[in-house]
Amino acid sequence: MSLWFESRLATLSSLLLLIFLVHPHSCKAVDLKPCGFQAIYNFGDSLSDTGNAMAEHPSPHAWHYPLGMTIGRATGRACDGLLIIDHIAEATGLPFCNPYLNKSLDHSKGANFAVGGTGLLSKEERAEWNVNFVWSNDSLDVQLRWFDQHLNDNFKDEKARRDHLKSSLFVIGGGGNDYGAMGGSPLYDKLPYIEQKKLIMPVVVGALVDAVKKFISYGANKVIATGVYQGGCIGGCKVTDKGLHCWEPTNEFHKLHNEFLQRKLQELGKEYPDARFAYGDVWGGAQWIWDRYQSLGFVYPQKACCGDKDHMYCGMDGTPWCSNPNEHVFWDCPGHFTDKSYRYMYQQMIPRIVEELQCDDKKNEL
């Protein structure tokens, strides 16, 4: 054995030992199969839309290549490949969560209600706070109405419906678009940036929490709520170099949103002791990547693969794209991540999700 190889082996074994010491449960499979989920219901925005926006607004001039270039097929995902929700679905052993608005797809194993460009605030709340979505009107309140419709269409029997939802996984996220679309209200125009956002945060998080309570009232008992990532680091079509230039006030605020959401999840845990609430830490996943992006093979921590300053939206006629998405943390200009980034983010997120859902913890099963 060469010295080089021996020293590599020594490093590797001490590393393995370290991992084992830090994570005494790391021998357990890190997946959600012990939960025995029968279905997944997902609510959110483009970070988890698997084809609703495309089904709603089909166009011969949009939604095409290079979207899906890494998996060889454009699916309506704002990505070159798969999203975090796809990896979560894989972890449960269920098929990908099919978009609800695509009626030709099977929804017997759940449905995805997330729509790109939407937020958590309802139409009424948007009017009150002068938040104007320019991209889509299918906010969480609309998605919840679709969910009710879906249940009415598929379950005539109340008990069968409850049993089904009891063994389903609920995933919900959003907020980035609500904050991104804010502005122009006399209510908060004069306030400093962070103070403006702080005013609306309880309303945004409150919408998510109300939805979770609705799921629980229907019989659900396993929920993953995802936070927001570093919105101040979007800007992928403005940067021309290889650096990362984040706007800290936005990041600072998004961090507050995540802290607030986690506090709310703890409260939900106390209010509903038979249910389990997991936090989907997209922030932590993205930070993990940025802290070591070069060693992961990324070249551009911020510059997006697809789009330029004149073409914001990937997959539309005339939008340019890079040759190797694996060199980019961001897939496109509005701040969607590449397949490779989402994969790493998921890997960082899943241990905490598994731990918090407590599926293989027999003493918690009543």
Ligand X SMILES: *[C@@H]1O[C@H](CO)[C@@H](O)[C@H](O)[C@H]1NC(C)=O
Residue 59 in the binding site for ligand X (CB under 6 A): no
Q: Sign of dihedral through CA atoms 201, 202, 205, 211?
A: negative
Residue 323 · residue 284 · CB < 8 Å? no
Of the two residues 68 and 227, which places its CB atom closer to ligand X in the complex? 68
Residues contacting residue 285 through CB under 8 Å, at least 6 positions apart: 229, 344, 345, 346, 347, 348, 349
Give, as ranges, the residues between 260 and 299 that touch ligand X (CB under 6 A).
none
Residues 88-117 that bind ligand X (CB under 6 A): 102, 104-105
For residue 110, the cross-strand partners are 40
Q: Residues 215, 169: contact at Cβ < 8 Å?
A: no
The reply to whether 68 sits near ligand X by the rule CB under 6 A is no
From CA 335, how far away is CA 352, in angstroms rounded?
A: 24
Q: Least Å distance between CB 360 and ligand X?
A: 33
What residue has token string 């804010």? 182
Closest CA to 169 of 85, 79, 247, 69: 85
- Using CB under 6 A as the binding rule, whether residue 137 contacts ligand X is answered as yes
User: Hey, what long-range contacts does 87-91 have (CB within 8 A, 24 or more apart)?
Assistant: 87/342, 87/343, 87/346, 87/350, 88/32, 88/40, 88/169, 88/171, 88/224, 88/346, 88/350, 88/353, 89/40, 91/30, 91/31, 91/32, 91/33, 91/350
Stretch that binds ligand X, among 50-58, 223-231, 289-297, 329-337 (CB under 6 A): 50-58
d(CA 293, CA 345): 12
* 13 vs 59, beta carbon nearer ligand X: 59
Give least dist CB 94 to ligand X, A. Answer: 17
**Interface characters, 5-44, with ligand X (x: CB under 6 A):** ----------------------------------------
Mark 214-243 with x for binding to ligand X (rule: CB under 6 A) and - for no binding. Answer: ------------------------------
For ligand X, give the closer residue by CB, 56 or 327: 56
Q: 263 exposed, middle or buried (CB, 10 Å; 0-12, 13-18, 19+)?
A: exposed
Tell me the site size for ligand X, rule CB under 6 A: 10
Minimum distance, C-beta of residue 184 to ligand X, in the bound complex (Å): 17
Q: Which of 35, 46, 51, 289 binds ligand X (CB under 6 A)?
A: 51
Q: Compute the least distance from the CB of residue 123 to ligand X, in Å.
A: 8
Instruction: For the CB of residue 210, give the shortest distance to ligand X in the complex, in Å.
Output: 22
Min separation Cβ 55 and ligand X, Å: 4
Near ligand X by CB under 6 A: residue from 36, 58, 93, 192: 58
Binding site for ligand X (CB under 6 A): 51, 54-55, 58, 75, 102, 104-105, 136-137
